[in-house]
């Protein structure tokens, strides 16, 4: 009689922010659907994001509650996570009846490469950015370019070792890189984290081959191995299980049913959806430009804005004027706080998406095939906007940065109107990318095959 195989078990360790947790949970759902047990390492404040999945995916999906670091800023948060969680996880794994064969951890958690070494298992990076953006980050922190004109924020920095040789003005380079210098603890921390990512066993991207093939190929060449998997877009079906897209990540100030009813009464591709993600707060001047542009444009819109939290104390935070909603009543809706973004973008009435170009938002706009209007403000967003507008041809550039390249309201209103044109080249390209994205996650699609290959590696590790 053949002895029964031990349950195959992997760890999934997200960075404790909703924009990082949600896509890794989406990946975990796909892994457990292939009969692999996944333990999600999560802190108590973020457990509600996981809770809806536990019943529908038990016993294959389980949480492990980690001590809460009680930190907000990136450097203190990740340092505290390492200090608190490394010994905790060593002890937990060593006493587990079915120890994990691998750990998949967020891009920000480079230190888990050392945890994986101590556990004698491989560490895979989960990238919340696309392959183009991560190629840029790896090149930046490995090769350490300098500003040729230290007094200028507009000096151009070329990355000729990356396909298509992207060029950026100095002010668009990662803030942690620009503002600190070697020897500074935070600068050294970010570089060490990136080098640990580069040296890790493999990497999993929430992207798909047809979208970023040239950068995926570059990543394999740059890393010197083929353990690079593109398994995205890892998004739930619009009306699928686990609540589908309506309450993904939170609840809205406007009920999803009311939003869908409002959209139902609008013509196809007549509405622009405006949202800058779960963390970005607009300044007063940005908010004034945006709301004036929406009003002047005359188009129908949904505007989702988030309010400040403790991170924004003392900062300039834009608010919507009291009479704005009254002036646009009938053609504009304002959502304060979280919005059901997938449900909105998937509605036939929505034709374009004004976005900060966070990678989650990029994918959520690509899948329904809307035209994207780009306004990046930091991190990987400039690279994502460059990909959308310059390489994919599926979007229009609206603005860049907080103050650097912000247009007048009348100019922005023209871009908004153009984004809803019926026969534009951008709309045609967006439809092509929608088709490619859906084919990638179909049963025989490229992303499904990549995920099968990844899980096959897990089973091979389990047999060692």
Residue labelled with tokens 């599926």? 394
| Letter string b/e over residues 93-105, b meaning 16 or more CB atoms within 10 A of that residue's CB | beeeeeebbbbbb
Out of 106, 222, 242, 380, the active site residue is: 106
CA distance 403 to 397: 15
| Letter string b/e over residues 342-367, b meaning 16 or more CB atoms within 10 A of that residue's CB | bbbbbbebbbbbbbbbbbbbbbbbbb
Q: Which of 9, 456, 445 is nearest to 233 (CA)?
A: 445
Determine whether 143 is an active site residue: no
C-beta separation of 232 from 204 below 8 A? no
Determine whether 20 is an active site residue: yes
Out of 9, 20, 57, 347, the active site residue is: 20
364 Cβ contact partners less than 8 Å away, ≥ 6 residues apart: 233, 235, 341, 342, 345
C-beta separation of 64 from 39 below 8 A? yes
C-beta separation of 268 from 349 below 8 A? yes
CA distance 256 to 414: 29
Task: Give me the phi and psi of 371, to 5 degrees please.
Answer: -75, 135
CA distance 319 to 210: 40
Kind of pairing between the strands at 37-42 and 9-13 = parallel
Task: Give me the phi and psi of 65, to 5 degrees please.
Answer: -80, 125
| Letter string b/e over residues 166-198, b meaning 16 or more CB atoms within 10 A of that residue's CB | bebbbbbbbebbeeeeeeeeebebbbebbebbb
Six-digit token string for 347:
């509605």
412: left (phi over 0), alpha (psi -120 to 50) or beta: alpha
Alpha-carbon separation of residue 441 from 134, 212, 240 (angstroms) = 22, 15, 14
Task: Give me the phi and psi of 366, to 5 degrees please.
Answer: -70, -40
Six-digit token string for 461:
């590790």
Active site residues: 20, 106
């Amino acid at each position: 009689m053949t002895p029964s195989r031990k349950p195959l078990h992997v760890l999934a360790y997200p960075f404790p922010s909703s924009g990082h947790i949600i896509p890794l949970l989406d990946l975990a759902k796909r892994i457990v659907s292939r009969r692999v047990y996944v333990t999600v390492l999560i802190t108590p404040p973020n457990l509600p994001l996981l809770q809806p999945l536990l019943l529908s995916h038990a016993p294959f999906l389980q949480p492990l509650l980690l001590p809460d670091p009680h930190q907000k800023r990136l450097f203190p948060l990740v340092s505290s996570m390492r200090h608190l969680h490394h010994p905790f996880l060593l002890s937990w794994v060593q006493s587990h009846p079915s120890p994990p064969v691998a750990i998949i951890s967020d891009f920000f958690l480079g230190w888990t490469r050392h945890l994986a070494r101590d556990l004698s298992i491989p560490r895979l990076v989960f990238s919340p950015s696309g392959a183009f953006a991560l190629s840029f980050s790896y090149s930046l922190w490995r090769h350490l370019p300098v500003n040729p004109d230290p007094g200028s924020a507009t000096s151009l920095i070329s990355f000729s070792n990356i396909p298509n040789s992207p060029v950026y003005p100095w002010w668009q380079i990662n803030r942690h890189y620009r503002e600190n210098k070697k020897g500074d603890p935070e600068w050294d921390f970010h570089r060490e984290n990136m080098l640990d990512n580069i040296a890790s066993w493999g990497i999993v991207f929430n992207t798909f081959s047809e979208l970023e093939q040239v950068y995926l190929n570059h990543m394999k060449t740059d890393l010197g191995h083929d353990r690079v998997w593109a398994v995205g877009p890892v998004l739930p079906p619009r009306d699928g299980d686990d609540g589908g897209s309506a309450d993904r990540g939170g609840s809205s100030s406007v009920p999803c049913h009311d939003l869908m009813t409002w959209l139902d009464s609008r013509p196809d591709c007549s509405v622009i959806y405006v949202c800058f993600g779960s963390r970005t707060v607009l300044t007063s001047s940005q908010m004034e430009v945006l709301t004036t542009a929406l009003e002047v444009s005359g188009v129908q819109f949904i505007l989702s804005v988030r309010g400040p939290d403790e991170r924004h104390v003392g900062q300039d935070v834009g608010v919507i004027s009291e009479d704005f909603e009254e002036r646009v009543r009938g053609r504009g809706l304002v959502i304060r706080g979280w919005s059901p973004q997938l449900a909105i973008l998937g509605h036939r009435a929505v034709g374009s998406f004004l976005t900060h170009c966070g990678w989650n938002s990029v994918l959520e706009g690509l899948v329904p095939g809307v035209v994207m209007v780009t306004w990046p403000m930091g991190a990987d967003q400039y690279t994502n906007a460059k990909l959308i507008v310059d390489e994919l041809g599926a979007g229009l550039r609206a603005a860049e940065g907080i103050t650097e390249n912000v247009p007048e309201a009348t100019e922005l209103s023209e871009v908004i109107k153009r984004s809803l044109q019926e026969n534009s080249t951008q709309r045609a390209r967006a439809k092509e990318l929608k088709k490619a994205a859906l084919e990638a996650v179909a049963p025989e699609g490229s992303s499904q095959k990549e995920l099968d290959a990844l899980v096959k590696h897990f089973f091979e590790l389990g047999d060692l």
